[in-house]
Structure 1
Amino acid sequence: MSDLEWRDGAARKKAGKGAAYSIKDLAGRAHWNTESLPDGMEAGLQATAVFSFDVAKSVDADDRVNSSNTYGFIAEVMAVEVDPATAAITIVKYVTVHDAGTIINPMIAEGQIYGGALHGLGGALYEEMAYDDDGQFLAGTFMDYLVPTACEAPTIDIAHVSSPSPLTTLGSKGLGESSSMTVPAAIANAVSDALAPIGVRITELPITPSKLWAMIAAARTGRSA
């Protein structure tokens, strides 16, 4: 290899005339035309690259680490109605505000918010990893493991506050599915607020109708659910 060099967009001999091979040709031989490789040369392509950023640090003595270059911020407001007779929960207003710094593609950004919100809605109201007393899984199909669909999706009012990050080239921050973490808390707090007059407080998820009905009934009779 010492007699080769990269010149004029191709690998060629340093001195004298000979064949020249572009990156496209070399990659094609290594991946598609492996029979053309010299004896003993292993086929395939592999590359390793390492990236770091100034604010990244190693784990300290207290097991703390900053693993991201920058962080987005989110605030959400959830208003719900709870039918005390059936324990049905209806979302009447949902507002979510995100600070993702400089937004490069608004349509993709809002798609991430919608996806995260529905993910969080599933965790808050529907999706439960249920087991019986013998440890048998009870939610192995979508008949039992419920996920929200477009029919269950609430109207989402989305707004943005942009404070560009000084740590990234374009000022962008993270946004991917951030509402998946905040929607469950927002719904649980809203339901707790709605049922506060009878002493119901949500402390676990998902808030299924059967669980919530039992909590309402227990609160009315003065016993624990």
Structure 2
Amino acid sequence: MKSSAIVLFLGTLFLTGARAQTVVTLTTSASSIDDDIILDAEGNLYGSNYNGSAIFKRSPTGEESTFTGGLNTPNGLAFAADGNLIAVDNQGNRIYRVFPDGTKEIFIAPIQGPSGILREYDSDTLIVTSYTTHKIWKIAPDSSVTEYLTHPEFNGPVGLCYDDEKNLYVANFNDRKIFKVTPDGEISLFAHPPLGQYIGFIAYANGYLYATAMNAHKIYRIDLDGNYSVWLGSTAGTADGD
């Protein structure tokens, strides 16, 4: 979505101690958010402005403000175990730690083409997709970076999520392929939505994956057998959702 768009749907991981997931539907006023979104424990929404330089914060009552700025292309967002926001700067080749007051520090640099990010299912390690190198990296709490996954069919990986069985899902932006990674590291093609769109961020809730098809203005719902259907959207939306 661009800066003039309306935020119509939120599919994100609501991080609690039990790692519960919640899908929330919103209809809001115009927003500067056009990329990844995430909720904190108080219900504040944080969203990146990839076509700008800032991360915005929107309160549960709808007030939006700049949370932090000075990034190149803000992209994926995740919360670290200490509660600080971790923000990916895709073309800036950096990952930032952002404190509750909006000040930030470099967490990882350089790291080539980082995009999606989330916390590992059962640890404080972060998992990061590299759009440009077609690899998946792990970042330990001490900031050490190790290569985690490679696959000949990774093609601009961006989206990441887990299901309830600790399977990791990786979504290619470029060719729409979504891969399943079992806890023992076996990688297989899980789903492949239709031509004519890019798959951005993905989320899991209640037995389904949800995948954003950004240029098709759609959200796909995918069951755990890999069967997909259009769940929301058909064309670009407006303030009333039509």
Shorter-chain TM-score range: under 0.3
Structure (1 or 2) with the greater helix fraction = 1
Taking structure 2 as the reference length, what is the TM-score of the superposition? 0.20
Give the greater-gyration-radius structure (CA).
Answer: 1
TM-score by structure 1 length? 0.21
Larger relative contact order (C-alpha < 8 A, sep ≥ 6)? 1
